Amino acid sequence: MTEGLRYAYAVVRDTGAPEAGPDALAALEGVPGVAGEPVRAVRHLGLAVLAGDVPTEDFDEGPLRERLEDMAWLEKVARAHQRVVDTAGADSCVIPVRLATVCRGEEGLRRMLADGRERFASALDRLEGRVEWGVKVYAAPPPPEEPPAGQPPAGGRGAPTALSGRDYLRRRKAQRQAAERRWGQTEEGARLVHDTLTGLAERHRLHPPQDPKLSGESDRNVLNAAYLVRREDSAGFAERVGRLAERATGLRVELTGPWAPYSFTADDDGAGSAGADG
Amino acid sequence: MTTAPSGPLAHQQIALVDVLDRLLAGGVVITGDLTLRIADVDLVRIDLRALISSVNADVPSPWEEP
């Protein structure tokens, strides 16, 4: 009704229930938003946006920009945003809105719905009944290389330095080939996982591999992918991931989800419809 | 070996990087004067890149579009 800032989480279909609002809202009872506020639905034109009142001292442009550089604050906001979206999307279709989308007043939210009306409607049609699964594949890092042959073989008196040098080079070559084979198998294994899952999914999207320093994982992330899967196919998809994981030697496969379809809100084909790897 | 999710996502322990992969590279981007400029993804990315490079000077942003 009033002025003030509104933080938007997701767009849903307005199911038209006179009082209770969209189905997605019912699940949000007791799930606070990014500022601890209750999340409400603002309806317009057959759509509704899930949003909450947020204080200007944190979410107006200047402060927000500063706060986003505070990792602890960013984490709090990101997790609250994700909790709202995935709770609302657990049983119905939600179109997640990018992190830190803030509008001025309910008017701003309604304008957002009006301006994006066609985009939202087509996304809802496209994503209805679908969920996103995340699959990451890790390769164990190769063991640390042997220290270069330190001591020349004992007992060498005259020429053996030439011989040990050749031995050294031969050994290094063998090590290098072994390492290349290992990585080759890793990539092949990751490709098999990806190709198989792509065949089971409607769409896929490759996210950049995660940096070990940010993820805290010591193993190298060789695949970080999202797959769009029909809800009814989810159990089969997860089971298939499990079977692939058992067969993939030297790889660790991690499954997360089901997520709301964050990675598939864009309708451009380039973002990962079949065959178009990002 | 695989780590299978158990129960609804809301009850799982999810890595922050997984959340940020989706919240920063996914979701509908609203542009126009109806939203604050900060909602512009590029601004958010720039801020994060600055943040991350201040933590790890040699690490490129993992949220760069491929």
Least CA distance to B13: which residue of chain A?
Answer: A256
B6-58 tens-digit pLDDT: 556 656 678 888 998 898 878 887 754 334 444 444 444 444 554 454 444 44
Q: Show residues of chain B in contact with A103, CB under 8 Å.
A: 34-36
- Looking at the structure, tell me whether residues A33 and A72 fall in a common domain: yes
Task: With CB atoms and an 8 Å threshold, state whether A256 touches B26.
Answer: no
Q: Which of A127, A162, A191 is the last residue of a domain?
A: A127
Q: Looking at residue A145, what is its pLDDT?
A: 55
Which among A11, A65, A252 has the least Cβ separation from residue B28?
A: A11
Q: What is the pTM of this model?
A: 0.78
Mean pLDDT value of segment A228-234:
96
Q: Does residue A278 lie in a domain region?
A: no
Q: Looking at residue A10, what is its pLDDT?
A: 96
| CA A247 – CA A239 distance, rounded (Å) | 13
- Looking at the structure, tell me whether residues A69 and A200 fall in a common domain: no
Q: Looking at residue A41, what is its pLDDT?
A: 94
Task: With CB atoms and an 8 Å threshold, state whether A134 touches B2.
Answer: no
Q: Show residues of chain B in contact with A60, CB under 8 Å.
A: 36
**Nearest partner of A94 among A103, A85, A102, judged by Cα:** A85
A48-66 tens-digit pLDDT: 999 999 999 998 878 887 7
Q: Looking at residue A194, what is its pLDDT?
A: 96
Give how many domains chain A has, as a whole number.
Answer: 2
pLDDT of A161 higher than 60: no
Q: Which of A127, A160, A186 is the last residue of a domain?
A: A127
**Nearest partner of A260 among A42, A24, A6, judged by Cα:** A24
Task: With CB atoms and an 8 Å threshold, state whether A263 touches B28.
Answer: no
- Looking at the structure, tell me whether residues A173 and A102 fall in a common domain: no
| CA A255 – CA B64 distance, rounded (Å) | 22
Q: Which amino acid, A214?
A: L
| CA A209 – CA B21 distance, rounded (Å) | 10
> HEC states along A213-249?
HHHCCCCEEEEEEEEEEEHHHHHHHHHHHHHHHHHCC
pLDDT-derived band of residue A270, with 50, 70 and 90 as boundaries?
A: very low
Residue A86 distance to chain B (closest CA, Å)? 7
Q: Show residues of chain A in contact with B14, CB under 8 Å.
A: 82, 256
- Looking at the structure, tell me whether residues A51 and A169 fall in a common domain: no
Report domain extents, chain B: 31-57
Chain B contacts in chain A segment 114-153 (CB below 8 A): 115-116, 119-120, 123, 132, 134
Using a pLDDT cut of 90, give the percent of chain A over it.
51
Please give the backbone phi and psi of residue A20, each rounded to the nearest 5 degrees, phi first: -70, -20
Mean pLDDT value of segment A68-93:
90
Contacts of A240 (CB under 8 A, 6+ apart): A196, A197, A200
Q: Say whether A41 sits in a helix, a strand or coil.
A: strand
- Looking at the structure, tell me whether residues A137 and A257 fall in a common domain: yes
- Looking at the structure, tell me whether residues A144 and A100 fall in a common domain: no
pLDDT of A215 higher than 80: no
- Looking at the structure, tell me whether residues A109 and A209 fall in a common domain: no
pLDDT of A122 higher than 60: yes
Q: Show residues of chain B in contact with A99, CB under 8 Å.
A: 23-24, 27, 44
| CA A115 – CA A79 distance, rounded (Å) | 28
Task: With CB atoms and an 8 Å threshold, state whether A101 touches B10.
Answer: no
Q: Looking at residue B41, what is its pLDDT?
A: 41
Q: Does residue A211 lie in a domain region?
A: yes
pLDDT-derived band of residue A19, with 50, 70 and 90 as boundaries?
A: low
Alpha helices in B10-60 (DSSP H): 16-25, 41-55
- Looking at the structure, tell me whether residues A141 and A162 fall in a common domain: yes
pLDDT-derived band of residue A89, with 50, 70 and 90 as boundaries?
A: very high
Residue A11's domain comprises 5-127
- Looking at the structure, tell me whether residues A99 and A198 fall in a common domain: no
Within a 10 A sphere around the Cβ of A258, how many other Cβ atoms? 22
- Residue A43 pairs in a beta bridge with A48
